[in-house]
A = this chain, B = another copy of it.
Amino acid sequence: MTSSDAYAELVRRSREVALIQSCSAVLGWDQQTYMPRAGAALRGDQLALLAGWAHQKATDPVLGELLAAVEGSASDPDSIEAANVRELRHAFDRSVKIPARLVEELARITTLAQDAWQQARAKNHFATFRPLLERVLALKREEAAAVGYVDHPYDALLDEYEPGATTAGIRALFAGLEKELVPLIRAAAEKKKPRTDILHRDFPIDRQKWFAESAAAAIGFDFQSGRIDTTAHPFCSAFGPGDCRLTTRYNPKFFNEAFFGVLHEAGHGMYEQGLLPEHHGTPAGTYCSLGIHESQSRFWENQIGRSKPFWDHFFPRLKQAFPGALDEARTEDFLSAINAVEPSFIRVEADEATYNLHILLRFELELALLSGDLAVADLPGAWNEKFEKLFGLVPKTDSEGCLQDIHWSFGGFGYFPTYTLGNLYAAQFGEALKRDYGESEIARSVRVGDFRPVLGWLRDRVHRHGRRYRAERLCERATGAALSPEPFLRYLKEKLSQSEPVC
Contacts A/B (CB < 8 Å), 7 sampled = A22-B46, A26-B26, A30-B30, A34-B229, A36-B224, A38-B242, A38-B243
Pairwise interchain contact B223-A36, C-beta atoms closer than 8 A: yes
Residues of B within 8 A of A229 (CB): 34
Count of interface residues, chain A, beta-carbon cutoff 8 Å: 36
| Interface membership of A430, Cβ < 8 A | no
Known: A224-B36, A227-B36, A243-B35. A42 touches B22 (CB 8 A): yes
Pairwise interchain contact B23-A50, C-beta atoms closer than 8 A: yes
Distance from A12 Cβ to chain B, minimum over Cβ atoms (Å): 12
Residues of B within 8 A of A35 (CB): 243
Give A223's nearest chain B residue, CB to CB: B36
8 A Cβ contacts from A1-52 to B: 16, 19-20, 22-23, 26-27, 30, 33-43, 45-46, 49-50
Pairwise interchain contact B49-A23, C-beta atoms closer than 8 A: yes
Distance from A177 Cβ to chain B, minimum over Cβ atoms (Å): 38
Pairwise interchain contact A242-B36, C-beta atoms closer than 8 A: yes
Residues of B within 8 A of A224 (CB): 36-38
Pairwise interchain contact A42-B227, C-beta atoms closer than 8 A: no
In the complex, what distance in Å separates the CA atom of A38 from the CA atom of B26? 15
| Interface membership of A53, Cβ < 8 A | yes
In the complex, what distance in Å separates the CA atom of A210 from the CA atom of B255? 28
| Interface membership of A225, Cβ < 8 A | yes
Known: A19-B46, A23-B23, A42-B22. A36 touches B225 (CB 8 A): yes
Q: Mark A223-256, 1 if CB is under 8 A from B, else 0.
A: 1111101000000000111110000000000000
Residues of B within 8 A of A27 (CB): 23, 26
Q: Mark A78-100, 1 if CB is under 8 A from B, else 0.
A: 00000000000000000000000
Residues of B within 8 A of A16 (CB): 49
Residues of B within 8 A of A20 (CB): 49
Known: A26-B26, A50-B23. A42 touches B240 (CB 8 A): yes
Pairwise interchain contact B243-A34, C-beta atoms closer than 8 A: no
The listed residue (B42, B225, B243) touching A43 by CB distance below 8 A is B243
The 9 closest A-B pairs by CB, nearest first: A39-B243, A38-B242, A38-B225, A42-B240, A39-B242, A38-B224, A23-B46, A19-B49, A36-B227
The listed residue (B34, B39, B45) touching A225 by CB distance below 8 A is B39
8 A Cβ contacts from A404-432 to B: none
The listed residue (B46, B53, B223, B241) touching A42 by CB distance below 8 A is B241
